[in-house]
Amino acid sequence: MTSKPNVRQPSHVACRDCSLSSLCLPLALSLQDIDQLDRIIKRGRPLKKGEHLFLEGDPFTSVFAVRSGAIKTYTATNEGEEQITSFYLPSEILGLSGMDTDVYPVSAQAMETTMICEIPFDQLETLSDHFPELRRHMMRLMSKKIREDQQMMMLLSKKNADERIATFLINLASRFRRRGFSSQSFRLSMSRNEMGNYLGLAVETVSRVFTRFQKNGLIYAVGKEIEIRDPVQLCSLAGGKAVDIEQIISSV
Amino acid sequence: MTSKPNVRQPSHVACRDCSLSSLCLPLALSLQDIDQLDRIIKRGRPLKKGEHLFLEGDPFTSVFAVRSGAIKTYTATNEGEEQITSFYLPSEILGLSGMDTDVYPVSAQAMETTMICEIPFDQLETLSDHFPELRRHMMRLMSKKIREDQQMMMLLSKKNADERIATFLINLASRFRRRGFSSQSFRLSMSRNEMGNYLGLAVETVSRVFTRFQKNGLIYAVGKEIEIRDPVQLCSLAGGKAVDIEQIISSV
DNA sequence: CGACTCTTTGATAACCCTCAATCTGTGTGG
DNA sequence: CCACACAGATTGAGGGTTATCAAAGAGTCG
């Protein structure tokens, strides 16, 4: 299988051997096509916690896939504070929103030690000229991102603190599950502060809600480790569409 | 120019003769290519106020361009209320967020009498197989939408009522200007209720802010007609990035 | 002109933010 | 190895912004 001898680090696993390939870009490609994608992907050294993948305003050159760890993207408010716009977990793709501006509209920073696959965009475009499926997959990714952002807008404009945090936890749980990890208990890669920033809440509010959820037996949390104790009620609080809830409850 | 004799209604203007073509999909196409796009576009009868273009859950078949009038998209919250996700003005494209689900994730409704160009998606995909520029244009559209949604998330999570409404008005003004209309005075196609729904505010708050803005000489508003009296201060309230503000102030 | 919706205005209260203090955990240097 | 410094997390008190409730005014359409 791995004819190339350069498997010096786990970061050099080929796409076809990557456990995340079924979730990531190669999804739509045949084995042979994957090798072509594989050739254009750059796998850099791991990013340490706090290191930046790119900065707001940097020239847009690549999209990125998270292999392990976690990335946050953020932009600066006019008062100079940071506003977190997304968290990215393994197999998730970031950088697509820079496409129409030639610069990244957000900064991307590692929240823990993180391995990244970098996909130079001009080469990805060239490649996608020949693989309509790859093209459609990228369009679908962007379309999905738009829908997710709209869910987020709904959260921010209609939900109270309890509902926001319940939604956030359920969302994380289902993303962990999709990657094959436990969705009942997992480790939050972000601080309470980052969570509040993302959810439009003060740190203190996040903390209070966590405490209350724990008192009521919805979750059990020590530090960043979290266990979902009552997925049904948590989903009910999150208040997604019924159809989504079914899926998530069965997954937690 | 117009060799086809079927110009029975304004809605049957060909893309190459459409005053919005420089803003809409044909942007990236040569005159000859535009004609090919033109052939696949369906131009239905005008939608009357309140009529739906599509409903949440309808099978995804087409993307749409607004020719005149205005469209809102909304989704139902779990309590059954509507949550408006976007307003679309002439030359703007809607429906792209349905691409990865095969159904529209939102409903689209005319806020006034509205003319629409419908672009069947399968044909658009076929066409874009041959025109890389069309493809890139669509990707850019989606990328732009993602950035706009993220601006909206920032508005919802960090801005107070005054700032939200200032931002909304400045945004509308710049969109009107882009279409060649006055950005100093224009007509709101949405009700106070719809505006509040979109901005995450109660109707009463919207009304109060309008009254206060008027008292302070920022705007002059009677009903849906609105005039921007102090664009500098309004922009300052909106608090966008400095570079954007410059552009907008000069435009109002 | 009457029924309707939309808008405005006022009073009240809920929710969450801010400020402040304490507590916990983590890493660093003596 | 411990003590200390520091950042993050928790808890409490108080106040501000905006939602909610209620009612009246303005505009619209049959």
pLDDT band for position B4 (cuts 50, 70, 90):
very low
- Asked whether residue B252 carries a pLDDT value surpassing 80, the answer given is no
Contact A152 B147 (CB under 8 A): no
DSSP, res B179: T
State yes or no: pLDDT of B15 exceeds 90: no
Q: How confident is the model at residue A58 (pLDDT cuts 50, 70, 90)?
A: very high
Of A123 and A250, more confident: A123
Contact B71, B49 (CB under 8 A): no
Q: Considering only residues A203 and A46, tell me which one the structure prediction assigns the higher pLDDT.
A: A203
**Fold identical between B15-148 and B159-249?**
no
Q: How far apart are the first and last CA of chain B?
A: 35
Instruction: List Cβ neighbours of B39 (8 Å cut-off, separation of 6 or more).
Output: none
> Can you tell me the mean pLDDT for B131-160?
91
Average pLDDT over residues A77-82: 83
Q: Taking 90 as the threshold, does the pLDDT of residue A42 lie above it?
A: no
Domain B15-148 has CATH 3.50.50.60: no
Contact at CB, A153 and B158, closer than 8 angstroms: no
Which range (A50-59, A78-87, B20-29, B145-154) has the least confidence?
B20-29
pLDDT at A180: 85
Percentage helix, strand, coil, to 5, in chain A? 45, 20, 35
Q: CA A43 to CA A46: how far, in whole Å? A: 9
Q: Give me the percent of chain B exceeding a pLDDT of 70.
A: 90
pLDDT at residue B3 in the model? 43
Among A131-140, B131-140, B225-234, name the most confident range.
B225-234
The mean per-residue pLDDT over the stretch A118-126 comes to 91
Smallest Cα distance from B197 to chain A, Å: 8
pLDDT in tens, B194-232: 999 999 999 999 999 999 999 999 999 999 999 999 999
- Quick: pLDDT tens for B85-124: 999 999 999 999 888 889 999 999 999 999 999 999 999 9
Residue B247: the pLDDT is 57
Q: Give percent above pLDDT 90 in chain B.
A: 62
Give contacts of A132 with chain B, Cβ < 8 Å.
125, 129
Q: Which residues pair with B93 in a beta bridge?
A: B65
Mean pLDDT of the B19-31 span:
81
- Residue-level pLDDT at B5: 44
**DSSP for residue A116:** E
B44 near A CB under 8 A: no
Contacts with B210 (C-beta within 8 Å, 6 or more apart), sequence order: B165, B192, B219, B221
- Where are chain B's structural domains? 15-148, 159-249
**Contact assignment for A156 to B153 by CB distance below 8 Å:** yes
Alpha helical stretches, state H, chain B: 31-40, 121-130, 132-158, 161-178, 192-199, 203-215, 231-238, 242-251
B191 vs B25 pLDDT, higher one? B191
Kindly indicate the confidence band of residue A241, based on its pLDDT and cuts at 50, 70 and 90. Answer: low
A225 CA: distance to closest CA in chain B (Å): 26
Residue in chain B closest to A158 (alpha carbons) equals: B200
- Which range, A175-189, A212-226, B26-40, has the best average confidence (pLDDT)? A212-226
B-interface mutation test, from A60, A140, A153, most B Cβ less than 10 A away: A153
Domain B159-249 is in which class?
mainly alpha
Q: What is the dihedral of CA A147, A150, A156, A157, to 10 degrees?
A: -140
DSSP E strand stretches across chain A: 42-43, 52-54, 62-68, 71-76, 82-88, 93-94, 107-110, 115-120, 185-187, 219-222, 225-228
Going by their DSSP bridges, the two strands A115-120 and A42-43 should be labelled as antiparallel
Average pLDDT over residues A58-63: 95
The mean per-residue pLDDT over the stretch B52-70 comes to 94
> Which residues make Cβ contacts (< 8 Å) with residue B7, sequence separation at least 6?
B13
pLDDT value of position A6 = 41
Detail the protein residues whose CB sits closer than 7 A to any atom belonging to strand C. Answer: A 160-162, 196, 200-202, 204-205, 222-223; B 191-193, 203-204, 206-208, 210-211, 221, 223-224
pLDDT at B246 over 70: no
CB nearest B240 (choices: A78, A158, A199): A78
- Residue A225: pLDDT above 80? yes
Q: Is the pLDDT of residue A152 over 90?
A: yes
CB atoms within 10 A of CB A7: 12
Under the banding of pLDDT at 50, 70 and 90, the label for residue A5 is very low
pTM of the model: 0.90
- Average predicted confidence (pLDDT) for chain B: 87
Average pLDDT over residues B65-93: 92
DSSP letter, residue B19: T
A219-235 burial code (b ≥16 CB/10 A, e <16) = bebeeeebebbebeebb
- Residue B135's pLDDT band (cuts 50, 70, 90): confident
Instruction: Give the C-alpha distances (Å, rounded to integers) separating A22 from A1, A15, A179, A198, A202.
Output: 18, 10, 10, 28, 37
d(CA B249, CA B235): 7
